[in-house]
Amino acid sequence: MTTTRPWWLLPPGRIHPLWWVALGCVMLAIDYLSSESVSFPVVYVIPIILAAWYSGRWPAVALAIAVPVFRLLFLVMPHSPRGGMATLGLATALRGIVIIILALWFSRLAEFERALQRRVKVLEGLLPICSFCKNIRNEAGEWERMEGYISRRSEAEFSHGVCPSCTATHYPDIG
C-alpha cells in the first residue's frame, strides 16, 4: 500500500522567488486593467501563496508588502482617487495585513510539511515474518531479527521489556 499526498496539498519543491515577482506583476496588471472598484483583489493571494509554499517566508512577505503598495501607486498615478487618499491608504494597509497573514500561514504550512517529509520513513508492503521467532526474511532471502530489519529501514529504535502475559508464562515466580 503506497501513501499518496492529499489532493489539496500543493506539490513539493522549491522555485526561485523571482518567478513570483513576475507572477505578482501579471496579477497587478490584471487587477489594474479589470477594475479599480474591487473591494478585495483576490488575485493578490495567488502569487503570495505560491511564493510562501515554494520559496519560503521572506519572499512571500516581501511580495505581500510590495503588491498592495504598487497597486496603490497604480491607482494614484493617473488621477486623484475617489474617496480620498486616506481611505485608499487604509484599504491598502488592510489588504496588505490580510495578505501578509496568508503568506506567513502558508509558509509555515510548507515548512511543517517539509519537516514531516524529512522525518517520516514508511515501511510498506508485506513483511515475510516467522510466526514463531518473529525474524524477518530480507531481500537476500536471509532471516534476520525484526529489530535490525526495521532499524535499518527507519529511524525507529527499540527497547525491550516483557509484557504481563509473557511474564506470567515464562517467569511465573516473579508475577
What's the pLDDT tens digit per position in 23-34?
777 777 766 666
Report whether pLDDT(20) > 80: no
Query: What pLDDT score was predicted for residue 1?
Result: 43
Q: Does residue 129 contact residue 146 with C-beta atoms inside 8 Å?
A: yes
Closest CA to 48 of 100, 114, 110, 109: 100
- Name residue 90's amino acid: L
Q: pLDDT digits over 43-84, tens only?
A: 677 788 888 888 888 888 888 888 888 777 776 766 655 556
Q: pLDDT digits over 46-55, tens only?
A: 788 888 888 8
Report whether pLDDT(145) > 80: yes
Print burial letters for 119-141: b (CB count within 10 Å at least 16), e (below 16). eeeeeeeeeeeeeeeebbeeeee
Q: Does residue 44 contact residue 92 with C-beta atoms inside 8 Å?
A: no
pLDDT average, residue stretch 124-145: 86
Q: Does residue 48 contact residue 64 with C-beta atoms inside 8 Å?
A: yes
Report whether pLDDT(18) > 70: yes
